[in-house]
Amino acid sequence: MSTVTAAAPKRTRMRGPVTWWKDPWRKPHILKAATWLYLLWSLIPVLIAVMFSFNNGRSRSSWQGFSTMWYVGTNLPGGAYSVFANPVLRMALTQTLKLAVITTCIAVPLGLAFALGIDRWHGRGSGTSNFAMLFSFVMPELVIGVALFFVFGQALKMVPPGTWQQALGLITFQISYPVIIIRARLLSIGRQYEEAAMDLGAKPTQSLRRVLLPLLYPAIFASAVLVFADCIDDFVIVRALGGPSSSETISMKLYSGYRSAPTPAYNALATIMLVGTLSVMFIGLIFFGRSARKEGKKGDAVESFAVSI
């Protein structure tokens, strides 16, 4: 009895590091600290880069006060350009958006049809084409870019370099995202809704359009958001297939400008790009969350969105 009363306070008051370490119910302070350190490391540099796009001076590493001159300014010191005063940077902005819109508009419907076909068709060709599609997913982007560069240069010479080649290349590289996301959704939906519709007399096309397609909307939307955001950020393929200087995108400008004459205008350009991607993703998240809620799912919208990536 006396040993128990003596032991109890000892355990709570005088906990050595060894006891603390051995306690299975201790709070995971070390892991928590590691996680937050990682999060800070991954996000702070980006925030600092955004901060320096508002720097009142040429430096990208020492703070000289707040200004928006690198976005909209004219007559900057040393003949430097701000983003909107520089026609080349403005052109890069439109080219990036153009490519992203074209690619999304073609890659998503193409991927949707492909996913439906592959998922439901149980022939031998189905497995092979699925394999080819997945292969394009894991292939390093540089390999696809160089291979496409060759085929456009040597065989498909009718496609002019620049926007056309870039768009075709981006669609080829991006098509696997909608296919994978939509197929995963098809698997989780199962066949029962379609079967019910068809038992009630719907023709295949009717059941597809009025039952299956609405069920696939969240997946279609998620993949469109992903493809769009990915295209804005794409670098390797657009560079490998770029033609005249008018086909240079923001990422190409960032790359070439970074080492030659970096000014905060590049930070500003990157920030604009970041805001673009973030707003697309944010809209996607809201829609995704809403449609997930409508279905009465309990799962967290963020989580399911993350997993679908």
Partner residues linked to 55 by β-bridges: 66
Q: Is 76 in the site for other proteins (CB under 8 A)?
A: no
Whole-number Å distance between alpha carbons of 2 and 7? 9
Q: Is 55 helix (H, G, I), strand (E, B) or coil?
A: strand
Q: Is 101 in the site for other proteins (CB under 8 A)?
A: no
Q: Is 131 in the site for other proteins (CB under 8 A)?
A: yes
Q: Closest separation between CB of residue 12 and other proteins, Å?
A: 20
Other Cβ atoms closer than 10 A to 35: 11
| Residue choice 2, 3, 5, 62 for contact with other proteins (CB under 8 A) | 62
| Residue choice 85, 93, 102, 133 for contact with other proteins (CB under 8 A) | 133
Question: Which tokens belong to 114?
Answer: 């492909």
Q: Is 1 in the site for other proteins (CB under 8 A)?
A: no
Q: Is 8 in the site for other proteins (CB under 8 A)?
A: no
Q: Closest separation between CB of residue 5 and other proteins, Å?
A: 27
How much helix, strand and coil, in percent to the nearest 5, is found in the chain? 75, 0, 25
In this chain, which stretch among 6-14, 68-76, 83-91, 142-150 interacts with other proteins, using CB under 8 A?
142-150
Nearer to other proteins, 61 or 75 (CB): 61
Distances (CA, A) of 91 to 94, 103, 124, 245: 5, 18, 47, 9
Q: How many helices (H) and strands (E) does the chain have?
A: 16, 0
Q: Closest separation between CB of residue 246 and other proteins, Å?
A: 19
Q: Is 261 in the site for other proteins (CB under 8 A)?
A: no
Q: Is 297 in the site for other proteins (CB under 8 A)?
A: no
Q: Which of residues 224-243 bind other proteins (CB under 8 A)?
A: 229, 232-233, 235-236, 240
Residues 6+ apart with CB under 8 A from 65: 55, 56, 57
| Residue choice 2, 3, 5, 42 for contact with other proteins (CB under 8 A) | 42
Other Cβ atoms closer than 10 A to 281: 16
C-beta separation of 248 from 92 below 8 A: yes
| Count of residues making up the chain | 309
Q: Is 136 in the site for other proteins (CB under 8 A)?
A: yes
Q: How many residues bind other proteins (CB under 8 A)?
A: 100
In this chain, which stretch among 83-91, 97-105, 189-197, 213-221 interacts with other proteins, using CB under 8 A?
189-197
| Residue choice 77, 204, 214, 244 for contact with other proteins (CB under 8 A) | 204
Closest to 264 measured CA to CA, from 87, 65, 88, 93: 65
In this chain, which stretch among 11-19, 31-39, 72-80, 85-93 interacts with other proteins, using CB under 8 A?
31-39
Tokens 């709070």 -> residue: 27
